[in-house]
Structure 1
Amino acid sequence: MTTTTTTRFVSVVGGAVLGLTAFSASAATEMPPLPEVKGEKVEADGNFKIKFSIGTTESGAQYRGLEYFEKIVEQRSDGNIQVELFPGAQLGDDRQATSALQSGTLEMTMPSTSPLVNMFPEFAVFDLPFLFPQPEMADAVLDGEIGQQMLEDASSQGLVAIGWGENGYRQLTNSQHPVEEPADLDGLKIRTMENDLHLDIWRTLGANPTPMSFAELFTALEQGVVDGQENPWITIESSKFNEVQDYATETNHVYTPFITLVSARFWDRLPEDYQQLLRDAATEMGDYQRHVSRTLNDQIKQDLKDSGMQITELTPEQVKVFQDKLEPVYEDWRDQIGGELIDDIRAQVEQAQE
């Protein structure tokens, strides 16, 4: 994380740290108080309403980030911009919400990058397995020149991209047996996002990947349509997947960002000062939301254990077996994603490790 980003990050979340560190095992998802809003009132002409849709539920870190965004925008616009939040895919899944932005029927959404790969092929870089060994390395890329250029590139096709958040490291759950090595995945039906690279990963590992909408996932797990799925711990807990999945493996196989998108049709109607307000609020929301996500992560994993889920924590040697098995995926996707982008990210990750 750059010095500037670190300073901003500390100032945004400092007021919430005490509340975050005081969580008990019985209240892992009790969210901390929202930080105070910083910055002066922004004066501009017009009154505006923002419908902000996400696929995850109200009990997740992403929704908590949206609550902070709402607070910033409404206070700093002196109420001239009103934000209404729609969690739980009420207005459609990530792809449907993004399409609604393009048509101008929805103002904002914050999807994972993975469902957008068909629109922006370079986003597939975030689906490469084991790209970021630590979350701070993802911060360095997303908050630096590479991430900012990707936001600019994504500001097209009826969208304006204004910030990053964290979906986090994806973990594997299933209803059949513990998974400690690739051979344990043979024949397991694993739900994936509708993303060709993710399908390639699970096929390479020997599983039977089954793409479907997140909104359909719980029912599919409950009915045995699929054996397992992969998502961050916080999503597993907030979506209650542990009620229909007995086994989990902490794989950390893919780090997935959220990207904050605005409808270009709505954006073009905003005065420039309000456009900048949304950019600033998106940055502060992203920093705070990542902090909440990471603070809750370990506690939620422990709560899942306490609920009866059997969690396998892989040794470095076991992780290496998965990495080696997946090496062909990098070669298969190098030309489609862009070898230069992959090399630049790997170089920045190596630099962050030093």
Structure 2
Amino acid sequence: MSKQALGMTFRLSAVALALAAVPASAANWKYAIEESLNEVQGVYATKFKDVIEANSAHKVQIYPFGTLGESVDVMEQAQAGILQFVDQSPGFTGSLIPEAQVFLMPYVLPEKPSELDYFFKHSKVINEHFPQLYADKGLELLSMFPEGRVHITTQKPFTSPEELNGVKIRVMTSPLLVETYKSFGAVPTPLPWGEVFGALQTKMIQGQENPMFYIESTKTYEVTDVITDIGHNIFTTAVMANKAFYDGLSEQDQMLIQKATAEATDYILQYREGLENDSIAKINAAKPDMQFVSLDEQQRELFRTASAPVKERFVAMTGDSGKAVLDQMSADLLEATGK
């Protein structure tokens, strides 16, 4: 057995022992998220839990970020069946499912909430293409939803790719995000989230990207001076179940999970409205000298043009499967935006 396999076995064994404290029951489902309970994924998971428990005898136990390790550990546990449900963004699953990185491409998703909601509810790429890609990795894709516009935090303001030259920006462990920030002029630095705050404090990195609510709730603003909106992306996440677990459920339980998924998705789309402005107000109150910068259309065009080759990099990484996903996503977006 390789060192990597031994390491994975050790991690899974440790987690299995930790979870053994929870009473073993087919009706006690475990659900891990990448955020805390009061952040978007936690709000979604709590609504999902409420619907399940209100309509059955089943229980759902939610494990917030950090309780079961980093994102890579949690995904291993979900694939191994230790966890029944997991919420994880394409920024981390992109290494496992390269096609999922289509949601990381800059200047693709619309910013208008009504168009964005329509896309996530009705797109064929999510409802028809992605389920098989996730199934191939032992996962049942239940839902994908947007968490909020992505902002970049830095120590100094910038308005062009040239001004990001040499700036180390933390990114999730996605090859496509690395390519994106290279095109932006920065030095992309993949790091687990647990290391980011300290890396910003020690100036090992000079910036990172996240939705505004996450910048506020994790107090990332305390170790940064500028928050910039270049309009490049919407943070997306995916809710998954272990496929062997899901396939082994009764039709009644599968329908229950679909009901909880649909209600939680509707709920979170409404919940996120106004969340960004609320988060800005909280940051302003805590740090009045924080600079908020929103690039105008001419400035955004510099980044849009610089990152145009990223689409070609995506196709090169994913081949025919990725091209089919990209083509379908483009068609779905045309329908969502009415263009």
1:139 alignment counterpart: 117
Unaligned residue ranges in structure 2 (runs of 5+) = 1-24
Instruction: Choose the corresponding residue for 2:302, options 298, 317, 321.
Output: 321
Distance in 1, matches of 2:315 and 2:273, equals: 30
2:205 alignment counterpart: 226
Contact 1:55–1:92 (CA under 8 A) maintained in structure 2: no
Change (3 A) 1:197 1:47: closer
2:6 alignment counterpart: none
Distance in 2, matches of 1:323 and 1:100, equals: 38
Does residue 126 of the first structure (1) align with residue 107 of the second (2)?
no
Does residue 111 of the first structure (1) align with residue 88 of the second (2)?
yes
Q: Provide the secondary structure at the position in 1 that maps to 2:237.
A: strand
The offset of 1:110, in angstroms, is: 0.5
Contact 1:73–1:281 (CA under 8 A) maintained in structure 2: yes
The offset of 1:240, in angstroms, is: 0.8
1:162 alignment counterpart: 142
Amino acid at match of 2:201: E
Contact 1:192–1:211 (CA under 8 A) maintained in structure 2: yes
Aligned pairs (5 A) from 1:1-354: 48-77=27-56, 80-134=57-111, 135-144=113-122, 145-149=124-128, 150-174=130-154, 176-306=155-285, 307-308=287-288, 309-337=290-318, 338-354=322-338
After superposition, the CA RMSD in angstroms is 1.8
Matched residues, number: 306
- CA-to-aligned-CA distance 1:207-258 (integer Å, 9 cap, x gap): 1111011122222222222111000111111111011111110123122321
Contact 1:64–1:289 (CA under 8 A) maintained in structure 2: yes
Distance in 2, matches of 1:247 and 1:323, equals: 21
Distance in 1, matches of 2:148 and 2:199, equals: 23
Contact 2:143–2:239 (CA under 8 A) maintained in structure 1: yes
- CA-to-aligned-CA distance 1:48-68 (integer Å, 9 cap, x gap): 111211121233122111111
The offset of 1:47, in angstroms, is: 5.1
Change (3 A) 1:179 1:341: same
Which shifted more, 211-220 or 138-147? Answer: 138-147
The offset of 1:130, in angstroms, is: 0.8
Amino acid at match of 1:127: L
Contact 2:216–2:283 (CA under 8 A) maintained in structure 1: yes
Which shifted more, 314-323 or 268-277? Answer: 268-277
Identity level (%): 27
Q: Provide the secondary structure at the position in 1 that maps to 2:283.
A: helix
TM-score scaled by structure 2? 0.85
Contact 2:141–2:241 (CA under 8 A) maintained in structure 1: yes
Change (3 A) 1:273 1:152: farther
1:33 alignment counterpart: none
Q: Provide the secondary structure at the position in 2 that maps to 1:170.
A: strand
Contact 1:113–1:256 (CA under 8 A) maintained in structure 2: no
Amino acid at match of 1:102: Q
Q: Provide the secondary structure at the position in 2 that maps to 1:259.
A: strand
Q: Provide the secondary structure at the position in 1 that maps to 2:158.
A: coil
- CA-to-aligned-CA distance 1:9-49 (integer Å, 9 cap, x gap): xxxxxxxxxxxxxxxxxxxxxxxxxxxxxxxxxxxxx8511
Distance in 2, matches of 1:92 and 1:241, equals: 20
Distance in 2, matches of 1:293 and 1:112, equals: 17
Contact 1:170–1:254 (CA under 8 A) maintained in structure 2: yes
Contact 1:53–1:89 (CA under 8 A) maintained in structure 2: no
Change (3 A) 1:249 1:93: same
Contact 2:93–2:100 (CA under 8 A) maintained in structure 1: yes
Change (3 A) 1:272 1:156: farther
Change (3 A) 1:140 1:334: farther
Amino acid at match of 2:110: P
Distance in 1, matches of 2:109 and 2:247, equals: 35
Amino acid at match of 1:353: T
